[in-house]
Amino acid sequence: MRDVIVVGAGGGGPVVAAELAGRGLDVLLLEAGAPHDNPAEEWTHFENDAFNPADGYFRVGPQDRSRPAWIRDQPQNSYVWNVTGVGGTTLHYYGNSPRAYQGAFAGYEGADRSAYDTAHAFPFGYAELVPYYEWVEAVLPVQTAPMGRKERVFFDGCEALGLPVQTTKDTHGVAFRPQENAILQPQGTAGRTADSSLLHYPQAQGCTFCGFCAQGCRSPLDAPRNLVAKRSTDNSYVPMAVTASAWSAAGRDATLVTDAFVTQVHTEVRGGERVVTGVTYRTNDDRDTVREDGRVVVLAAGCVETPRLWLSSGLPNPYDQVGRGLTDHHLDWVVGTFEKDTGASRGPASAARAEFPGYGCIEQGGLPPALQAFSMSFSGGGIRGQYDLGRGKRGAWDGVSGRLRGSELKDVMNNGIDRMLSLLVITADDVEAHNRVRLSPLYPRDEHGSPARVELDGARRSAATVRRRDYLANRAAEILRGAGAKKVYRIDWAPLILHTQSSMRMGADPADSVLDATCEARGVKRLFVADNSALANSLGGPNPTLTTQALATRTAEVIFSTYFGGDPWVRSESPVPSTDPRISAAL
C-alpha cells in the first residue's frame, strides 16, 4: 500500500510527488510515456524529429516510437498539442511563468471586475495563492528573462504604443515586460557564442540562446539534469521527487515508473462514502497489468487524459461536469514581416509579453521555419484571398484574416525566418460547458479503454471570448507596426489546444464543478486532481503552468495535513530550489 499514487509526470503531478516525498511519504509517480532520461541521445534540435504527431519524440504516445500514437478524437478543425513522457507538456513549453490575473479569483473587487468570467471564478481569493506562487517561483526557479534581438524589437513596439512597463510579478494593469520565465539566466559563455566547444557546463550556465525550447532543453552541454536551463519538470520537480532523501531530512525518494498507462481508478464505499483505493496500469509495452493500492490518489494526467480516465473508470459524475468547461485561451497568431534582423529563431522562444487584464495577454514567439510555416497555415478562417468561411476579419492587420498558402506563404517565408516576428494572442476565454473532453463515440475501445474525444469548436465561442480575442489581435498588430513591421497578418487560428485548462474544474458550486476548493474530488474521498484540469478557469489569460504548480503545492499541503497528520509548510519554511547541488549529486 503506497501513501500516495500520482498519475502523470507532467506539469503538476511531479510537484505533488516532490513535495510529499520531501515530507517522507511513500510516493509512486506513474507516467504513461517515455522516461526521457537521456536527452543527449534521444532528442535532436530538428523539428519533424521532435513534433511529428505520428512518431516524433514529443508526441502523445508510448515511449517506443515505432508503436502507434494514442488516438485523440477531434471532431473539428483543431489540433491538440500535448506531449507524453516525463515532463509532459512542459517538455515543449516555453517556460513562461506569469501569475494569473486577480480578476479570475473570488472576491476580486477591481473596477474591471465585470470583464472576467466571474461565474466560474476560483473559489478563493488571489491572496490565498500568493505564498504558493512564491514557493514555486523559488523552487523552479522563475527568473526575469534576458533580452535578445526579438525582445528588443517587441519592446520597441510596446514603447511606440506608450505602454507602461511592469516591474512586479503581480499584474495590476495594462503593461509590457520581460517574461518571468522558468529558465535559468545565462552565465559565463551562455548567450555569447555559437561555438559548441565553449558551451559546456560549467563554463556556460543557464540559457545558451540556442532557440530550441520547444524541442526539449538540454543546454548547456553536459549540465547535470537539474541544472539544465529550462525548468520543465523533467529538469526540476522530477529530479527532486526521486532524490528527496538527499535534500530533505525527512525525505523519502519517490518511485518513478514510466511506460505505465493507468487504465482504472479503483474505489470502494466506506462508511457511506466512496473512497479511492488505488489504480491499475498497463506496462511493459502493454503486455503486463499491475494493480497498486494507495491511501491517496492524485490524478495529474492532463486536461484530456484525466477526465478520460475518470469517465473510463466509471467514477461518479452526478452533475455531468467531468470533462466540461475546457478552456484553451482561444489562441491566435499575428505575424509581422520586417526589413531588418529580428532574431526570431534565436534565443528563448518567448521572453517578452504584454498584459491586458480583462482581455488576456500577448507574447512574442520565435519559431524555427517548419513551426513558423505551420503557425501561418493553421486557421479557422479559410485561406486568405480564396475563402473565409464567413470569418474574414479586418483590423489593424493587412487585409483579411486567414491562413497563408501557396505563393503568399512562400513570399513571407522567403523574406527570411529572422525577418519576421510573431505574437501569440492569449485570450481570457470563458468556461463553456459544450467545450469538453469525453469518451469517443466513434473509435472502439483499445487496451486503455475508450479514446478521448476533445470537443472544442472555434466557431462556437462566447461573444465575450471573441470580443476579447479581437481586441488583443488588434493590439498585437499595433505593437508589430510600432516595431516597424512592413506587413502584418492575422491568421485567426483554429483551436490549437496547447494551453488547456479547467476540464475538471474546481469551484464553489457542485453543480458546475468537479473538485472542491482543495482540489479533492466531490464524490470520491482521497482522490485529488493536480494538473491544469483542476484550474477553475483560464486565469484571465496568463499561461497556466505556474498557477497549476502553485495549486499543486497547495494540494500537497492539503493531502499531508488532512490524511497524514502533518502540518502545512509553505508559510513557515523556506523552499529548497530544484537546482540544489545535493540533487545534482544524488542524480
Q: Chain-centre distance of CA 195, in angstroms?
A: 32
CA distance between the termini of the chain? 26
Please name which of 538, 549, 546, 556 lies closest in space to residue 122, comparing C-alpha atoms: 538
Q: Are 436 and 503 in contact (CB under 8 A)?
A: yes
By the 8 A CB rule, do 288 and 260 touch? no
Report if residue 14 touches another protein, rule: CB under 8 A.
Answer: no
Of residues 299 through 318, those in contact with another protein by CB under 8 A are none
Least separation in angstroms between residue 185's CB and another protein is 7
CB of 429 to another protein, least distance (A): 20
| CB of 35 closer than 8 Å to CB of 262 | no
**Of residues 33 and 251, the one with the C-beta less far from another protein:** 33
CA atoms of 333 and 311, how far apart (whole Å) = 34
Judged by CB under 8 A, the chain residues 160 through 179 that form the site for another protein are 165-169, 177-178
Q: Is 453 helix (H, G, I), strand (E, B) or coil?
A: strand
CB atoms within 10 A of CB 335: 26
Q: Are strands 332-337 and 288-299 parallel, antiparallel or unpaired?
A: unpaired
Question: Are the C-beta atoms of residues 479 and 354 closer than 8 Å to each other?
Answer: yes
Contact positions with another protein (CB under 8 A) in 241-300: none
Binding mask 333-372 for another protein (x = CB under 8 A): ----------x-xxx----x---------------xxx-x
Between 174 and 396, CB nearer to another protein: 174
Q: Distance (Å, rounded) from C-alpha 207 to C-alpha 213?
A: 10
| Binding residue (CB under 8 A) for another protein from 11, 220, 251, 360 | 220
Q: Cβ 59 to another protein, closest distance in Å?
A: 9
CB of 542 to another protein, least distance (A): 15
Largest interatomic CA distance in the chain: 71
- The contact pattern for another protein, residues 529-548, with x = CB under 8 A and - = no contact, is --------------------
95 binds another protein (CB under 8 A): no
From the list 48, 45, 49, 72, the residue with the least C-alpha distance to 60 is 72
SS3 of 289-346: EEEEEEEEEEECCHHHHHHHHHHHCCCCCCCCCCCECCECCCCEEEEEECCCCCCCCC
Of 142 and 530, which CB lies nearer to another protein in the complex structure?
Answer: 142
Residue selected from 26, 37, 128, 418 as contacting another protein according to rule CB under 8 A: 418
In the range 75-94, which residues lie near another protein by CB under 8 A?
75-79
CB of 531 to another protein, least distance (A): 24
Question: Smallest distance from the beta carbon of 394 to another protein, in angstroms?
Answer: 19
Closer of 169 and 252 to another protein (Cβ): 169
Cell of 389: 468561411
CA dist., res. 518 & res. 123, Å (int):
9
Q: Which residue has the cell 534565443?
A: 347
Residues numbered 442 to 501 that lie near another protein (CB under 8 A) are 442-444, 494
Q: Restricting to residues 107-136, name those near another protein by CB under 8 A.
A: none
Q: Parallel, antiparallel, or unpaired: how do β-strands 79-80 and 452-455 relate?
A: unpaired
Q: Do 528 and 297 form a contact (C-beta atoms < 8 A)?
A: yes
Among 25, 163, 199, 524, binds another protein (CB under 8 A): 199
In this chain, which stretch among 201-209, 274-282, 428-436, 544-552 interacts with another protein, using CB under 8 A? 201-209
Which of 20, 115, 129, 204 is in the footprint of another protein by CB under 8 A? 204
Q: Give the number of other Cβ atoms within 10 Å of residue 313's Cβ.
A: 19
Note whether 515 and 521 are within 8 A (CB): yes
CA gap 159, 216 in Å, rounded: 32
The binder of another protein chosen from 157, 186, 302, 357 (CB under 8 A)? 186
Q: Is the CB of 91 or the CB of 494 nearer to another protein?
A: 494
Nearest residue (CB) to another protein, 215 versus 306: 215
Q: How far is the CB of 146 from another protein (least distance, A)?
A: 6
Position 74 contacts another protein (CB under 8 A): yes
Shortest CB 314 distance to another protein, Å: 23
List all residues 6 or more positions away from 320 whose beta carbon is below 8 Å from its beta carbon.
Answer: none
- Residues 559/563/567/570 CA torsion (nearest 10 deg): 0
Residues 377-396 that bind another protein (CB under 8 A): 377-378, 382-383, 386-387, 389
CB of 242 to another protein, least distance (A): 27
State the pairing for strand pair 288-299/273-283.
Answer: antiparallel
Contact pick of 38, 68, 173, 318 for another protein (by CB under 8 A): 68
Q: How far is the CB of 321 from another protein (least distance, A)?
A: 23
* Pick 189 or 263: Cβ nearer another protein: 189
- Residue positions counted in the chain: 587
Identify which of residues 188 and 544 has a Cβ nearer to another protein in the complex. 188
| Nearer of residues 353 and 499 to another protein, judged by Cβ | 353
Binding mask 18-47 for another protein (x = CB under 8 A): --------------------------xxxx
Smallest separation, CB 196 to another protein (Å): 5
* 14 vs 141 by CB, closer to another protein: 141
CB 342 → another protein: shortest distance, Å? 11
DSSP H or E run through 439: strand 436-439
